[in-house]
Amino acid sequence: MNRSAQIVCIALDALDKDLVRRWSAAGVLPTFRSLFQRSIWGVTSTPPGLYVGAVWPSFYTGASPARHGRYCYRQLRPGTYRIERAGASHVAVEPFWVALSKAGRRVAVIDVPKTTVTPLNGIQVVDWATHDAEPSGLQTWPAPFGRELIDRFGPPLLRTCDGHNQSVEQCLALRDTLLAQVARKTELSRWMLKQARWELLLTVFSEAHCAGHQFWHLHDPGCSRYDPAIADRMGNPLRDIYIALDAAVGRVLESIDSDTVVFVVSSHGMSRHGDASGLLDDVLLRLEGRSRRPKPDRLATQVLPLWQRTPGFVRAALRPLRDRVINRLVADADRIDSTRKCFAIPNNDIYGGIRLNVIGREPRGRIRPGVEYDTFCQRVIDELHRITDVDTGVLAVRAVLRSADFYHGPRVGDFPDLLVEWNRDQPLRALTSDRIGTLRSEHLPGRTGDHLPHGCFFAYGPGCGAGEMASTVSVMDFAPTFASLLDVNLSAIDGESFASRLMRSRADRG
């Protein structure tokens, strides 16, 4: 493909592929229904067990988490027993658009989650309208473009979607904000297409992510918070957002030239919230014969909730205080007891993370590498598979993965050793087994929806085929695919280009 060609990628954060198929077949999503008919399309896979926090860094670097290192918004600091915030700056591999820019390709990158601003041959927007924006907030390249963006399309509408689903009024207000955000992103994307002949324009809509977390209980009768009377009064705000996104994709596609290669990508999916990750550390304590963990510093438990309720503009004004005091309190509150043999560390709710206290890796290790490590892992795995849900009697753990079986790279030693996949068929409020007794959760999650590992993609344009692709495509494969279509080679990646499969599918169909 010569350089005059153009790639446009419209990505939709956590747009669930099964809902897209169901509502497309029902005629509710006409744009996606058309894409199923005229595109080559398929299912995307994400990093096993780590996908929630690793999916976007893996997408934009083309690298495994074992190479780029970012899998959760909070991670264990290597060589310590402290948990620290892991932002976009923790990603150790450059975004693929940097290589495109260095090769002279002109790029526009809009609101890719978990990124930082990078000098580019083009324009970049970071955290204008994303889910769970970085603390630094809106940034642009070049920097003066930020003022033009706000003057033309308005300031960010939503810092976080959490805390907005406790009443009908809050849900309606959040829905309306997300709909307004979809409209703004649509107009920004269409406007950007008119500004230059971009070799790559990549724009991300985040509203399905927020809606999936906050509105699942208004969509799914199997959700524990589902109330038919409230659902009847409100309708289905999740579907409202999907309809708006379908229309948004359609409007952006209308602005794209016929010689453009188009990708529409969903990062990963969504379903009901039903894990027991909040009980995992208590489970591990019981397995070690301990009854309770040490209480965190009282000041930390009192100050941190107050800080978390402080408006964002106040936090920004008090940034030196945050850096010197609040971050220290967070670390003190999350300090891990170094006398334990294993402990839970942040990962995601769907897969709980377990770290072993290994001699030679941790400062005060308790488990020897090799046979002792393997034996201890297997004992923990066996005990986890004996735990049942108190309410239903079914097994609470679906699978336990060893990170080392799936990941190989310079950062794999930073990961949880074990990844615990919960059985999410029903909410897990209480766990029991002979070894742990009974443990009950005292915390009900505010988010009623949580993630599934697979997404989907559509591609069409000059040379592309149509129909379903037989095998899945890793999220790591998009970066090298975009690069190969623009005659640019990427280094330090793990993904593989599937550009030839897009073209070959056409030949296979004659």
| Amino acid identity, position 465 | G
User: Which residues neighbour 204 within 8 Å (Cβ) at sequence distance 6 or greater?
Assistant: 11, 12, 13, 110, 111, 112, 113, 130
CA distances from residue 221 to 216, 226, 363 in whole angstroms, order as listed: 9, 6, 48
Q: Which two tokens stand for residue 497?
A: 């280009």
Q: pLDDT tens-digit profile of 464-480?
A: 999 999 999 999 999 99
Domains in the chain: ranges and CATH: 6-272+452-508 (3.40.720.10), 277-296+334-444 (no CATH), 300-333 (no CATH)
Q: Which residues contact 211 (CB under 8 A, 6 or more apart)?
A: 175, 178, 237, 238, 241, 242
Distance in angstroms (rounded) separating the CA atoms of residues 489 and 473: 19
What pLDDT shows up at residue 370? 98
Q: What is the structure's pLDDT at 309?
A: 56
Residues of the chain falling short of pLDDT 50: 1-5, 297-300, 506-507, 509-510
CA distance 95 to 210: 24
b (16+ CB within 10 A) / e for 279-312: bbbbbbbbbeeeeeeeeeeeebeebbeebeeeee
